[in-house]
């Protein structure tokens, strides 16, 4: 048992013994060299390519502007977008809930407090939605949102899909006119 104590003490003493100077000087690394040449990527000499003249067939010569082509592309994109019956945008959601009377009260309060805003009421079972505006970009909705937020602190801007006026059926237009007269 005494031998274990002596061996333990010697191991502890040997383990705690301070070592010599651990930091090496810069002179130890003065002769260090490493060849990275095989791992480096190779690039063509750009000076030679810049000094050489391109052949005639390399670059097509153009005498007319590309404005006509851009106009055609823009027209095709515009007609494609107009052929879509819906577009994505943003609106300000003022109320969302299942209480019908509260939804109608919110709509009436909107009309009373903000006569320049036209509220729209939707029913998506089981909830009622009261929204304001149809905006293509979120920044456009910020003005209406700032106005409505003063009276309705729970209002928020949401993503929405809108049907284009050109694609509304005659029945839908008559229904909207009837709702506006009531």
Q: Please write the tens of the pLDDT for every residue from 32-87.
A: 888 888 888 888 888 877 777 666 556 666 666 777 888 889 999 888 877 788 88
Q: What is the pLDDT confidence band of residue 109, given thresholds at 50, 70 and 90?
A: very high
Greatest Cα-to-Cα distance within the chain, rounded to the nearest angstrom: 107
Tell me whether residue 158 is in a domain.
yes
CATH number at residue 157: 3.30.70.1070
Residue 76, domain member (yes or no): no
* Domain with 155 in it: 86-181
26 found inside a domain: no
CB 122 within 8 A of CB 128: yes
Average pLDDT, the chain: 82
134 phi and psi angles, rounded to 5 deg:
-135, 105
Measured distance CA(168)–CA(181) in Å, rounded: 19
Overall average pLDDT of the 114-134 stretch: 93
Please state the domain count of the chain. 1
Is 150 within the bounds of a domain?
yes
pTM tops 0.85: no
Q: Cα–Cα distance between 180 and 177 in angstroms, integer?
A: 5
Residue 157 has pLDDT above 90, yes or no: yes
């Amino acid at each position: 048992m005494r031998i274990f104590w002596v061996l333990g003490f010697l191991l502890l003493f040997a383990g705690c013994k301070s070592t010599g100077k651990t930091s090496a000087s810069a002179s130890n690394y003065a002769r260090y060299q490493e060849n990275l040449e095989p791992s480096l990527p190779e690039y063509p000499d750009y000076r030679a390519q810049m000094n050489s003249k391109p052949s005639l067939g390399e670059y097509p010569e153009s005498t007319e502007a590309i404005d006509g082509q851009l106009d055609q592309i823009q027209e095709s994109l515009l007609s494609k977008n107009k052929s879509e019956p819906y577009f994505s945008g943003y609106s300000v959601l003022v109320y969302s809930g299942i209480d019908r009377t509260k939804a109608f009260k919110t709509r009436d309060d909107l009309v009373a407090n903000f006569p320049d805003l036209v509220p729209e009421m939707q029913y998506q079972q089981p909830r009622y939605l009261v929204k304001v505006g149809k905006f293509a970009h979120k920044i456009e909705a910020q003005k209406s949102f700032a106005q409505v937020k003063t009276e309705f602190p729970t209002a928020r801007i949401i993503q929405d899909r809108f049907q284009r006026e050109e694609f509304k059926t005659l029945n839908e237009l008559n229904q909207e006119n009837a709702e506006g007269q009531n």
